[in-house]
Structure 1
Amino acid sequence: MSLPPSIDPHRHAVFLDFDGTLVALVDDPQAVSIAPAALDRLETLQSELSGALAVVSGRRIADLDRFLAPMRFAAAGVHGLERRVRPDDEIERLAGPEVLDDVRARLGAPLRDNPRLKLEDKGTALVLHYRTAPDLKDVAERAMADATVGRHDLAVMNGDNIVEVHPAGMDKGKALAAMMKDPPFAGRIPVYVGDDTTDEFALRQVRDAGGISIKVGDKHSVAEFRLADVVAVHHWLAASA
């Protein structure tokens, strides 16, 4: 895979993953930060794209708002279970937290038995983190499999040092396709940048649509283009803005 072309502000709609793309991965998900200069570049790019820039993340939109403040932006959160097509829109939620109440209860015992596992509760998604305890990978995956047994309405996804569950029927690719139907994204060529396994849904969606699919890092991907790391992403954005 080669380096991606520059963004064309008149033709492209840009969708950016957050963790591992705009900010480096860290042990504590709440400890990430973005440099003020990088945030300024995003705001400039958003303006040049006439608003056709969105953040697509497994995080809640409320958390993205906090990390990227004071910027306002379109977003798909929790893999598309939350959506905001325009910066000033209300957040649309496609499911409520009660759908995972039974899974929360079932995860209680393995979390007590393995205190190095950390549970992140996003309301409409639950994430077991084992970045600081990679030896517990199998334990985390087994715990989530046991907690979701028989729940065909749920989707379990393995990511970068995490295992996550959320209601089935949504992923980043479907979220992107839905956002592309509405202004300011409609009629533009999609560009997607992401680093994780969960981004592959969006990368495939964009590639199939004739857009620009960009993988961050060296993992296997369906993407046509590649950027080495978060620093390379910001250099590419700076060159485009």
Structure 2
Amino acid sequence: MSQPPLIDSRRHAVFLDFDGTLVDLVDDPSAVVIAPAALARLEALRAELSGALAIVSGRRIADLDRFLSPLRFAAAGVHGLERRLHPDGAVERLAGPETLDALRAALAPTLLAESRLTLEDKGTALVLHYRTAPDLKDRAEQAMTEATQGRDDLVVMLGDNIVEVHPAGMDKGVAVAEMLQQPPFAGRVPVYVGDDTTDEFALRHVRDNGGVSIKVGTKESVAAHRLADVGAVHHWLGAAT
């Protein structure tokens, strides 16, 4: 993999993962902080791109808004199950929380028995976290596999110290593909930057459709380009043409 080209504000549409890309990963997901200078650069870059900049995350859009406050961006949250094409637009939800009610009940005994596992409930997705208890990786994966047995309408995704489940038919690649059909992204060349396994769907879509695919970190990837870490991402964003 090579260093990515600089962003061309005249023709690119930029899609950025959040955790591990714009902010460093931390044990407590609620404790991440983005530097004011980095936030200001995102605002300036959005203007340079005529609005064609979006955050694509496993987080809920409401959480992204809180971390990026006072700014708001176009966004795909919960791997695309939430969507907002314009910063001042309404959030569209493609599924309701009731879809996962049976899983909440099925996972409850595991959470009671393994207090070091934590469940993040995003409404349209459930995430088992084991970052502070890596020895429970297999237990977390087993619990989610058992809870989702026979549920073909759901998909389990393995991420960075997490096991996540959400309704099938949606991932970050699908989200990016659909956003590229709408203004202000339509007609532009996609650029995607992400660090996690869940970003591979979007990286593959962008690579296969003539865009710029950028992996953050050292993990194996389908991406054509690589940036070393969060600091390198912000340096690259600041060098856009």
Q: Could you say what secondary structure the match of 2:24 adopts? A: coil
> Alpha-carbon deviation of 1:240?
1.2
Which residue does the alignment assign to 1:175?
A: 175
Which amino acid is 1:182 matched to? Q
User: What residue is the counterpart of 1:134 in the other structure?
Assistant: 134
Q: Which residue type is aligned with residue 146 of structure 1?
A: E
Deviation at 1:239, TM superposition (A): 1.1
Q: What one-letter code is carried by the residue in structure 2 that aligns with 1:170?
A: M
* Cross-structure match for 1:223: 223
State the Cα distance separating 1:51 from its structure 2 match: 0.2
**1:152 Cα deviation after fit:** 0.5
Give the Å deviation of 1:88: 1.0
Which residue number in structure 1 is paired with residue 214 of structure 2? Answer: 214
CA displacement, residues 173-213 of structure 1 (integer Å, 9 cap, x when unaligned): 00000000010000000000000000000000000110000
| Aligned equivalent of 2:186 | 186
Local SS of the residue matching 1:213? strand
Q: Tell me the TM-score normalized by structure 1.
A: 0.99
Equivalents in 1 of 2:217, 2:200: separation in Å? 13
Matched residue, 1:15: 15
Aligned residue pair count: 241
Find the residue that maps to 1:157 and give its secondary structure.
strand
Q: Cα distance, 1:153 vs. partner?
A: 0.2
Name the counterpart of 1:148.
148
| Distance in 2 (alpha carbons) for counterparts of 1:187 and 1:207 | 16
1:32 equivalent in structure 2: 32
1:128 match: secondary structure: strand
CA distance in 1, matches of 2:126, 2:71: 27
List runs of 5+ in structure 1 lacking aligned partners. none
Q: How does 1:1-241 map to 2 (within 5 A)?
A: 1-240=1-240
Give the share of equivalent positions with the same residue, in percent.
76
Query: What secondary structure does 1:88 align onto?
Result: coil
Deviations 1:115-139 (A, max 9, x none): 0001000000000000000000000
CA distance in 2, matches of 1:26, 1:128: 15
Equivalent-residue separation in structure 2 for 1:203 and 1:86 (angstroms) = 22
Q: Distance in 1 between matches of 2:92 and 2:221?
A: 30
In structure 2, distance between residues paired with 1:161 and 1:72: 28
Alpha-carbon distance between aligned partners in 1 of 2:66 and 2:166, rounded to the nearest angstrom: 22
Q: Could you state the TM-score of these two structures normalised by the residue count of structure 2?
A: 0.99
Give structure 1 regions of 4+ aligned residues with deviation exceeding 6 angstroms: none
